[in-house]
Structure 1
Amino acid sequence: MLPDDVARAVSRYLSVADRLLPRRISGFYVVGSVALGAWQAGRSDIDFVAVVDGDLSERDLRLLALLHKAGNLPAAWQALIRGRPHIPGTLNGVFVAAGDLGEPVTRIRPAASHSGPTFKRGSGFEVNPVVWKVLLEKGVTVRGPVPGQLGLDPEPGTLRDWNLRQLHGHFAAFAGKAVSARPPRKPLLPAHRVAVAAVLTPPRLHHTIATGEVISKEAAAEYALDTFEARWHPLIRLALARRLGLPAPGVGDARGLPRLVGEFIFEVIASADRKG
């Protein structure tokens, strides 16, 4: 069952999709925070996996790019009139050919994807062992067979290593810049969403490495408070408060926040390496 706001947004999006690409989207599944029971009205995006029948032509891909804009107009308008720098309620997702669904997830080449302002052809980060596990176990069916009938292969044997690679790749690079004596010209933490992702996503990956289960960012905050030393708790509580839209507690000198975040990420990575 989808929250009412999500159901309305998905219905509008698919209405536009069916006008642009009639009878081509045969499956539509909501994943992400909705599937994990952590979606927040006015704050969360809506993540999906869409199944497309047949090969996509150049014209079809142009129409998918248009769908990304036209299907998300209501969310963009609400963000504009409220003066928000990000767009909650946006539908972000990946389009996969129906014939590829039975392949191991790491071998699937998405037809297209869109996230935030970005539309990509032939790629999509969301086709990965974590999202496929959520899709198979908790994905919400809007159109098409239930996920258990799709023949999905999330490759559970790769789950731990995939999460470790994310920590040692993107997050280690971010942390290295954060603790550098010469920080980059662009601010590392320009908005609360970046701070939340940087603080709460590494413990989320850590939890999956340790337990094999996928949890929400909110649950990852509680897990981090139970798992990591008390010196990190003010930072974790700050990220959780920002995630929930609550008054944020202080963590000392704000100018030192990027370095503190970087040091915490390195702590999470070191702990994850000791797991297993």
Structure 2
Amino acid sequence: MTQPDVRRVLDDLVDGAREALGDRLVGAYLVGSFALGSADEWSDVDFVVVTDGRVEGDGLDALRALHRRLPDGGGWASHLEGSYADLADLRSPMTLGRRWWYVDNGSRELEQSAHDNTAHTRWLLRERGVVLTGPPPRDLVAEMGAPALRAEALGIARARAEQLEGDPSWYDDAWFQPACVLTSCRIVHTATHAEVTGKTAAAHWALEHLDPVHRPVIEAALADRAHPWDRVHRQADPALVAPTRALVWDVVRLAGQAALDARD
């Protein structure tokens, strides 16, 4: 993995978005693990393109064509993931959760999704976003305060725990299980510090600050970070299933406590 490899893919994205959107392109930004300096060879290439108004008509058709062809470049071009965010939405906290045009990692199709319209991604865009073209993201994105980040972290923690109780078979998946652990660490880190960091950094923080009972499953998840796609549809280590579930529920408690502590 080299920075020029990623930059070439991002240049192709920006050039294509500029051609598709014309004057409606406000800016394009690198977010995610590459923006945080924590990317590895298994990371997504996360982006946000800011537009003047919601994209539709010929502009949308051109963007669809762009994302159908970008993965043909291979390598990092197959791991682009991001959204086309309306500037008006970014300027208002009241529009959190509104759906934007989004392309998932490995996909060639745009879909309507709120995946990136979160306090988490807006904070990351504003505070850590890397400018590919356009003005500084702080000029575009309303500030995401600590209460919003903590409330979102707690909501996500609860929703994940309840969803997994409804379908615990996910814990048995060798791809999902370590990813679940690392995501849990990032959720509780955000709830505690009201800022966003990478999953690996959050896991190392969790090793030092969470109950030592969680240490084995976190260490195993860090060791399993490599080659995650090789484990899709394989069974997770049965010995890690119960500790993962315990961590998921403990994160609900910890995120709730962090929110209460911040109010005192």
Same fold (TM over 0.5): yes
Amino acid at match of 1:219: A
2:187–2:251 CA contact under 8 A, matched in 1: no
**Change over 3 Å in CA distance of 1:109–1:230 after alignment to 2:** closer
Structure 2 partner of 1:104? 93
2:96–2:117 CA contact under 8 A, matched in 1: no
Give CA deviations for 1:204-260 in whole Å, capped at 9, x if unaligned. 1111111112111111111121122333222111111122559xxxxxx92343333
1:94–1:126 CA contact under 8 A, matched in 2: yes
Stretch deviating more after TM superposition (19-28 or 128-137): 19-28
Give CA deviations for 1:146-179 in whole Å, capped at 9, x if unaligned. 112225232443111111000001243225533x
Structure 2 partner of 1:68? 67
Residue 208 of structure 2, aligned match among 226, 237, 244: 226
1:35–1:139 CA contact under 8 A, matched in 2: yes
2:29–2:47 CA contact under 8 A, matched in 1: yes
Deviation at 1:58, TM superposition (A): 3.6
Deviation at 1:88, TM superposition (A): 8.3
Mark the runs of 5 or more structure 1 residues left unpaired by the alignment.
79-86, 247-252
1:25–1:52 CA contact under 8 A, matched in 2: yes
Q: Aligned to 1:94, what secondary structure does the other structure show? A: strand
**Change over 3 Å in CA distance of 1:153–1:255 after alignment to 2:** same
**Change over 3 Å in CA distance of 1:107–1:271 after alignment to 2:** closer
Identity %: 29
1:30–1:141 CA contact under 8 A, matched in 2: yes
Q: Aligned to 2:238, what secondary structure does the other structure show? A: helix
Find the aligned partners of 1:56 and 1:104 in 2 and give their Cα distance: 20
Amino acid at match of 2:125: L
Does residue 142 of structure 1 match 2:165?
no
Does residue 32 of structure 1 match 2:25?
no
2:172–2:238 CA contact under 8 A, matched in 1: no
Whichever structure has more helix as a proportion of its residues is 2
Stretch deviating more after TM superposition (26-35 or 145-154): 145-154
Find the aligned partners of 1:191 and 1:74 in 2 and give their Cα distance: 29
Deviation at 1:191, TM superposition (A): 4.4
Does residue 266 of structure 1 match 2:253?
no
Amino acid at match of 2:248: I
Structure 2 partner of 1:12? 12
Q: Aligned to 1:159, what secondary structure does the other structure show? A: helix
Find the aligned partners of 1:230 and 1:223 in 2 and give their Cα distance: 12
**Change over 3 Å in CA distance of 1:109–1:232 after alignment to 2:** closer
Amino acid at match of 1:94: S
2:99–2:114 CA contact under 8 A, matched in 1: yes
1:175–1:263 CA contact under 8 A, matched in 2: no
Alignment map for 1:202-213 (pairs within 5 Å): 202-213=184-195
Stretch deviating more after TM superposition (50-59 or 5-14): 50-59
Deviation at 1:67, TM superposition (A): 2.5
Does residue 237 of structure 1 match 2:237?
no
Q: Aligned to 2:224, what secondary structure does the other structure show? A: helix
1:133–1:154 CA contact under 8 A, matched in 2: yes
Q: Aligned to 1:125, what secondary structure does the other structure show? A: coil
Q: Aligned to 1:71, what secondary structure does the other structure show? A: helix
Does residue 133 of structure 1 match 2:123?
yes
Deviation at 1:8, TM superposition (A): 1.4
**Change over 3 Å in CA distance of 1:23–1:242 after alignment to 2:** farther
Deviation at 1:55, TM superposition (A): 4.2
Find the aligned partners of 1:11 and 1:35 in 2 and give their Cα distance: 16
Structure 2 partner of 1:250? none
Find the aligned partners of 1:28 and 1:243 in 2 and give their Cα distance: 29
Number of residue pairs aligned between Structure 1 and Structure 2: 249
